Amino acid sequence: MENSEYLKKGLTDAEISERIKNGRINGEQESHTKSIKQIVTENIFTFFNLINIILGFLVFLTGSYKNCLFLGVIFFNILIGIFQEIRAKKVVDKLSLVSAPKAVVLRGGTEKEINTAEIVIDDLMLLSAGRQICSDCIVAEGECEVNESLITGESDPVLKKTGDEMMSGSFIVSGSVKARVHRVGADNFASKITAGAKYLKKNNSVMLKALDTIIKVIAVCIIPIAIGLFVNSIVISEQPTDRAIVSTAAALIGMIPEGLYLLTSVVMAVATIRLASHKTLAQDMYCIETLARVDTLCLDKTGTITEGIMQVEGTELLEKNFPLDSALTAFVSVMNDDNPTFNAVKARWGNGLSIPEAKLSLKKTIPFSSARKWSGAEFEKGSFVFGAPEFVLKEDYETVRKICEKAQQEGMRVLIAAYSQNCFEESALPQGLKAAALIFIGDIIRKEAPSTLGFFDRQGVEIKIISGDNPVTVSKIAHKAGVKNAEATVDASTLSDEDIPEAAKKYTVFGRVSPDQKLLLVKALKSQGKTVGMTGDGVNDVLALKEADCSIAMQSGSDAARSVSNLVLLDSNFASMPLVVAEGRRSVNNLQRSGTLFLTKTVYSFILAFIFMFLPIPYPFQPIQLTLISTLSIGTPSFLLALQSNTDIIKGGFIRNILRTSMPQGIATAVSVIISVTICEFFGLTTEAMSTVTTYAVGIISFFTVIRVLNPVRPWKIGMLAALMAAFAGAALIMPNMFGLYPLDLSGFGIMVLTAAIGIETSLVISKVTDRLLDFILKIFRQIRKPFRSIKKKILNIFGK
């Protein structure tokens, strides 16, 4: 295939069309976002929406059209949810498109830059230094060195000549080649590894699990309660059928926290959009929450705590009076090597200048080779060699061993400059080689790394450094960057699979780690109850990234790593992580605060619905009244509070944190309503008056709940509360008939004030024993859930998972 015509022009249009027709093309990457159809469908067809629509239809049949207004709120909620999710999708898709890799190919004699998805079998790729190999290929012409660290974890470049295979996910370090693609799509090496990570990962969002639990409880209870309330209204309370339907609907509507799911989606969508403006791509909205909960973070050395480039740390002359500066300046001016160590030397002695005399007297250059471990230049006056001391000096290495090992223990790479009066023997070292000087090169630690690592340390997040490099070197670099307990180091190549769990507890820095060991380390940490976050950029990181609770990839890394990660740092800057954590905390803490308002209504609605199944008294609310209360004391403040700044450390479980405030408030509201109804019944107030009294009382208590979640108090929050209370009063005064409210006499007004005060005082009293009460309730819930889990496990064992 590699004939001269092919090497000059590549594939023809006809050959490309034939391969595309036969499916021999890379193909499009999987979309990481939902389709618009999925977003619309998931927002409309929910369990809660179905119940609300049925209730609305039944109320509509009674002719009480104003009590159908709650459907408008549901409709509005659906629109907001769809709008925010589509907006977030567009942001994510746009960033994904920007971050999509490109390939340069030769087609019809013309160089073209195409998407990697358009590569076909036998395409002739043009690869030069810095380019990532997008598809498995064979070198057709030229010679280059390839960095396979993203695949193997080994950082040393590998020499590739004509006929050698190069694997997707690697990078060209030096040289340039034409390479024929011989595998595409799922057959690529990187794709095969990625395929091992293409399993459905269970969502580990604590918030979603909490919401699912709430839905399950409501789903189990809502139908029997609906039947009980309706029967009670008809048989015991002797209400007309129309009134029974309306009051039953009111009870059920109050039990459904319809806005909480919407609020969660909106807040996470807004967080996704905010992070996008800071060059961070969240491929899964809820990963932002997970990262905020991470307590163990696994990091690679390169690209996270170091910049991935090196610098000269110092020199030591081995031959007195040797003109090291002028020699290296001349050497750099004639060499074209492109690898981290040479670039560090070039940065120190190149200065963008060239030495004409050196070029004029140049006779020969030998580029760096990973096999030789040195490079050289031959001038008229002699030869100059630069490389690894043990490969350049060979048996004479013992003369500098101690110096080299000491520097290596400090985390530096040691290179030697040597010269000879003799010529190179083809590509072999010249005779009479003399050591001139040692050059010490070290990784450049990111300026922001110490502060970023310090941030996680202050937040109680344990850092684990996992690298394929020498453990001593990694440990020293980690220590310089400020990693706590960096001296706790182990060479992972000495560990068996059985040793990994104990090592995960004991050590901070892991060197010489294989891809399989990375996966085992993540699994071990998770089995120890840790919430694990992991950064990675290579194909060798894919399985571990997929296993981690929250995975973070660098944009500069491999396609495979980016495709399985929850977050992609588009500027490949680890310093963005505190910002992501802060965004997660803002979302979770504010949702917990706002969720309190929704769950308060659910708690008191549950209690009242259950009690009124057995009382010979009509249920006191109409749907329109609960709509008024929900809109002004729950919906509006919850959305405003959910978007404020909040970077407090997340503590405790989501449900427990919400119930700590919502349970006392819910119980107190229920007590207030029961007392209100009892007093009204005792004094013989009409059903309409009783409904008005309870609506006002619950409204006052609900605004008290808002006050309790306002901390820290800000002027805008006080203004918001005042505006909402004014709107509530305005609705009662201006449109009382609309909301089923009637004028109260002195006794009715007195009952309203009394019951509202009792409700507020009751909530304060119950708050003092909330923790013990919660423990008791959650314990009962777990006991009830045990047999159901046991039955579920048996069914799964019978039919298979």
Q: What is the pLDDT of residues 176-198, one digit of tens each?
A: 899 999 999 888 887 776 665 55
Whether 577 has a pLDDT exceeding 50, the answer reads yes
**Cβ atoms 128, 113 nearer than 8 A:** no
Rounded to 5 degrees, what angle do the CA atoms 84, 596, 248 make?
90
Kindly write down the DSSP assignment for every residue of 465-493, as one continuous string. EE-SS-HHHHHHHHHHHT-TTTT-EEEGG
Whether 163 has a pLDDT exceeding 60, the answer reads yes
Identify the three-state secondary structure at position 175.
strand
Other residues' Cβ atoms within 10 Å of the Cβ of residue 735? 11
**Cβ atoms 500, 151 nearer than 8 A:** no
Q: How far apart are CA 617 and CA 238, in angstroms?
A: 9
pLDDT at residue 220, as a whole number: 83
Other residues' Cβ atoms within 10 Å of the Cβ of residue 529? 8
Q: Per the structure block, which two tokens stand in for 38?
A: 């999925």
**Cβ atoms 177, 203 nearer than 8 A:** no
Kindly write down the DSSP assignment for every residue of 93-129, as one continuous string. HHHHHHH--EEEEEETTEEEEEEGGG-BTT-EEEEET
Region of 719 (left: φ > 0; alpha: ψ -120 to 50; beta: rest) is alpha
Average pLDDT over residues 130-152: 83
Choose the catalytic residue: 122, 123, 300, 559: 300
Q: Is 277 exposed, middle or buried (0-12, 13-18, 19+ CB in 10 A)?
A: exposed
Is the link from the previous residue into 787 a cis peptide, with omega within 30 of 0?
A: no
pLDDT at residue 206, as a whole number: 79
Bridge partners (DSSP) listed for residue 442: 311, 412
Identify the three-state secondary structure at position 312.
strand
pLDDT at residue 789, as a whole number: 60
Whether 91 has a pLDDT exceeding 70, the answer reads no
pLDDT at residue 560, as a whole number: 65
pLDDT tier for residue 98 given thresholds of 50, 70 and 90: very low
Q: Per the structure block, which two tokens stand in for 164?
A: 């050698």
N-to-C CA span, the chain: 49
Whether 259 has a pLDDT exceeding 80, the answer reads no
Distances in Å between the Cα of 476 and the Cα atoms of 307, 405, 413, 438, 511 are 15, 13, 12, 20, 12
Whether 617 has a pLDDT exceeding 90, the answer reads no
pLDDT at residue 701, as a whole number: 93
How confident is the model over 213-245, as pLDDT tens digits? Answer: 887 788 788 889 889 989 988 888 888 888 889
pLDDT tier for residue 353 given thresholds of 50, 70 and 90: low
Give 239's DSSP letter. -
How confident is the model over 262-309, as pLDDT tens digits? Answer: 788 778 888 888 888 888 888 777 788 888 888 999 998 776 788 777
pLDDT at residue 788, as a whole number: 58
pLDDT at residue 793, as a whole number: 61
Known active-site residue 300: yes
Q: Which among 85-94, 140-149, 352-361, 752-761 has the top mean pLDDT?
A: 752-761
pLDDT tier for residue 357 given thresholds of 50, 70 and 90: low
Count of helix runs (H) and strand runs (E) in the chain? 30, 21
Average pLDDT, the chain: 83
**Cβ atoms 169, 559 nearer than 8 A:** yes
Average pLDDT over residues 618-639: 88
Bridge partners (DSSP) listed for residue 438: 316, 416
Average pLDDT over residues 487-510: 92
Q: How far apart are CA 277 and CA 787, in angstroms?
A: 48
How confident is the model over 654-696, as pLDDT tens digits? Answer: 777 888 778 888 999 999 999 999 999 888 888 889 999 999 9
- Report the range of poorest mean pLDDT among 78-92, 102-116, 256-270, 727-741: 78-92
- Report the range of poorest mean pLDDT among 73-82, 267-276, 408-417, 688-697: 73-82
652: which residues sit within 8 A by CB, 6+ positions away?
Answer: none
pLDDT at residue 152, as a whole number: 66
Q: How far is CA 37 from the centre of its chain?
A: 24
Other residues' Cβ atoms within 10 Å of the Cβ of residue 355? 16
Give the dihedral sign, CA 291/296/299/304.
Answer: positive
Other residues' Cβ atoms within 10 Å of the Cβ of residue 538? 29
* Residue listed under structure tokens 């001593």: 472
**Cβ atoms 759, 701 nearer than 8 A:** yes
Whether 537 has a pLDDT exceeding 90, the answer reads no
pLDDT at residue 200, as a whole number: 46
Residue 134: what residue type? Answer: C
Q: Which one is predicted more confidently, 322 or 355? A: 322
120: which residues sit within 8 A by CB, 6+ positions away?
Answer: 11, 16, 19, 20, 24, 25, 26, 181, 184
Average pLDDT over residues 125-154: 82
pLDDT at residue 33, as a whole number: 61
Whether 390 has a pLDDT exceeding 80, the answer reads yes
The interaxial angle of helices 577-612 and 258-276, nearest 10 deg, is 170
- Report the range of poorest mean pLDDT among 417-421, 451-455, 537-541, 547-551: 537-541
**Cβ atoms 367, 174 nearer than 8 A:** yes
Q: Which among 76-80, 298-302, 622-626 has the top mean pLDDT?
A: 622-626
- CA-wise closest residue to 668 among 748, 768, 740: 768
Q: How far apart are CA 518 and CA 542, in angstroms?
A: 10
pLDDT tier for residue 501 given thresholds of 50, 70 and 90: very high
675: which residues sit within 8 A by CB, 6+ positions away?
Answer: 754, 755, 758
Whether 799 has a pLDDT exceeding 80, the answer reads no
Identify the three-state secondary structure at position 131.
coil
**Cβ atoms 472, 338 nearer than 8 A:** no
Q: Per the structure block, which two tokens stand in for 246?
A: 């309306």
pLDDT at residue 801, as a whole number: 43
Q: Per the structure block, which two tokens stand in for 335?
A: 């060499």
Average pLDDT over residues 23-37: 73
Q: Per the structure block, which two tokens stand in for 716?
A: 């805008």
- CA-wise closest residue to 589 among 646, 652, 662: 646
Q: How far apart are CA 742 and CA 86, in angstroms?
A: 43
Average pLDDT over residues 345-361: 73
Average pLDDT over residues 44-66: 83
Whether 125 has a pLDDT exceeding 90, the answer reads yes
Whether 746 has a pLDDT exceeding 60, the answer reads yes
